[in-house]
Amino acid sequence: QVQLVESGGGLVQPGGSLRLSCAGSGAMLRVYAMGWYRQGPGKQREFIALMTRTGVTNYADSVKGRFTISMNNAENTVALQMNTLKPEDTAVYYCHARRSGLSQNEFWGQGTQVTVST
């Protein structure tokens, strides 16, 4: 099984920065991509950023130029550096992992709250 644990959320003022991290454990060998989603108040969960183990990245248009995803393959961790935060970035941020194989191949963390407010 795969377990994902996020950390780094909190309260920040508009224009500030936060760095989220996610530690993967368990059956991570066949995990080929990790990323981040978020769910704001009254909104659906939306894709934010993805990174494969080969270094391919993808970002939602709303965060391009402000957020940066990174991965440490050896440690099975992924981070999200969030700069120039806006109130509309307020959401619960979830770590996500995708795994190949016939068993369960999609995993989610518990989520960490990010609040951007004065």
Q: Which two tokens stand for residue 88?
A: 């509309």
- Flag whether pLDDT at 35 surpasses 90: yes
User: What are the pLDDT digits (tens) for 42-70?
Assistant: 999 999 999 999 999 999 999 999 999 99
* pLDDT at residue 117 in the model: 97
**Burial grade of 101 (CB within 10 A; 0-12, 13-18, 19 or more):** exposed
91/84 Cα distance (integer angstroms):
15
- Flag whether pLDDT at 28 surpasses 90: yes
CA dihedral 22, 25, 28, 33 (to 10 degrees): -10
34: confidence class by pLDDT, cuts 50, 70, 90: very high
